Structure 1
Amino acid sequence: MGHLRYIIRLQWRRRVKHHKHKVRKLRKVDHDSRREEVAAAAARLIANKGLEALTTRALAKELGCSIGVLSHYFSSKEEIVIAAFRWADQRIDLRMQEAVADESPNIQSFFPVIKAGLPLDVESDLEWRVRLNLHTFALTHDASLLAEREKNQQFRDLMTVMIAGMQDKGHVIKELSAEDITSLAFDLVNGMAKNLLMCPFEEREAKAEYLFRLIGYLGAV
């Protein structure tokens, strides 16, 4: 009888432990999901009204919650700004990753990747507006500047590896190093993105065409 009670208690403890673990896991998922929701709302405010419009009061109104609720997920405005930056960046990155061809990449298969990184529709337009607002913010906020530098370096490293692979397969000229081509493409795309934001949507695709022609010259003959 004592042995039976011991087994029952053991099973009960295991169930309680499993339940607590499950609750903690759900809370973690809910917490992360709520943080992403706050970051997305902050990004919309920044894109549509500028960085100066991002106040805790305005953000709480956008989310339909109290200011106290926001402090549960973020400890400062700068933390919210960095989260908004990462939210926009991750969405751009995801589109670019989805555009990467599965087969051996060449200059032509690289075009959809570049196109995915430009503000050619409403969604990517919002994300680029966030980026541009945060470039200015980062110049006077060390944590934001560090986050942006790290992100840019990660992207450059990824692109350098991709271009070096295309050079090894004879798809890209070798007169320029993979690092130089990366810098050229990176600066051209960033500059083009900023210029496209000034244009009506119906003109953006045509204005971006010369960029693809320039990059096309990097293909090995």
Structure 2
Amino acid sequence: MRKVDHDSRREEVAEAAARLIAEKGLEALTTRALAKSLGCSIGVLSHYFSSKEEIVIAAFRWADQRIDLRMQEAIAHGNPSLDHFFPVIKAGLPLDEESDLEWRVRLNLHTFALTHSDSLRAEREKDQQFHELMEGMIRSLQQQGQLRSDLSAEDITNVAFDLVIGAAKNLVLRPFAEREARAEYLFRLIEQLRPPA
């Protein structure tokens, strides 16, 4: 019972940290500000996390798990086809307030990770998992004749992965009203991966 409470409280701290990062930037994430937002003491935070970097990694994982959940739901709701791939890509983009928050956390943490080895390792592991998930889907689509087979699954995955991350960064800079239309080029590019009729 206490384990569940401990894990639940860690998740609560991670979410609060993620929201602080998304709203005010990584520099605003101090133990004092985090404790204040949670209505607890700094000492209570140290019971759950031993360092600021641990809190940052937890915030990163919190945001990534939410992005992953949306993408997994998109994968689970549909037949394996190129049309099914569109909602998976869409689920990974910051097109609403929830996904915007998650991407703001991720983008803040990209910079942090460059100078913090544990954060960099966590980010690389997460990217590798996502990459493997996407490559598996692409290989499956190729085997079913839903996707061009004259391009390697690895190359398609690398391009799609880089495009989604780059598009997400650019979309966060735009007003919500412009984001859907701005992201349309991704789907036009994916459409070109259909095999010739």
Give me the TM-score of the superposition, normalised by structure 1.
0.87
Q: What corresponds to 1:138 in structure 2?
A: 113
Residue aligned with 1:61, SS: helix
Q: What corresponds to 2:98 in structure 1?
A: 123
1:90 paired with 2:46, answer: no
User: Unaligned stretches of 5+ in structure 1?
Assistant: 1-25
Larger Rg: 1
Q: How many Å separate the matches in 2 of 1:103 and 1:63?
A: 39
Equivalent pair of 1:101/1:109 in contact (CA under 8 Å): no
Q: How many Å separate the matches in 2 of 1:219 and 1:31?
A: 48
Runs (4+) of structure 1 exceeding 3 A deviation are 101-104
Equivalent pair of 1:39/1:83 in contact (CA under 8 Å): yes
How much does 1:108 deviate?
A: 1.0
1:29 paired with 2:36, answer: no
Residue aligned with 1:44, SS: helix
Q: What corresponds to 2:131 in structure 1?
A: 156
Q: Counterpart of 2:57 in structure 1: which amino acid? A: I
Residue aligned with 2:139, SS: helix
Which one of 31, 41, 49 corresponds to residue 24 of structure 2?
49
1:176 paired with 2:132, answer: no
Q: Counterpart of 1:66 in structure 2: which amino acid? A: S
Equivalent pair of 2:17/2:34 in contact (CA under 8 Å): yes
Q: What corresponds to 1:13 in structure 2?
A: none
Q: What corresponds to 1:196 in structure 2?
A: 171
Deviations 1:165-207 (A, max 9, x none): 1100000001111111000100011110000011100110010
Give me the TM-score of the superposition, normalised by structure 2.
0.98
Q: What corresponds to 2:52 in structure 1?
A: 77
Equivalent pair of 2:63/2:103 in contact (CA under 8 Å): yes
User: Unaligned stretches of 5+ in structure 2?
Assistant: none
How much does 1:131 deviate?
A: 0.2
How much does 1:104 deviate?
A: 3.7
Q: Counterpart of 1:57 in structure 2: which amino acid? A: R
Root mean square deviation, CA, Å:
0.8
Please give the residue correspondences for 1:53-68 in structure 2 after superposition, counting only pairs within 5 Å: 53-68=28-43
Residue aligned with 2:86, SS: helix
How much does 1:119 deviate?
A: 0.2
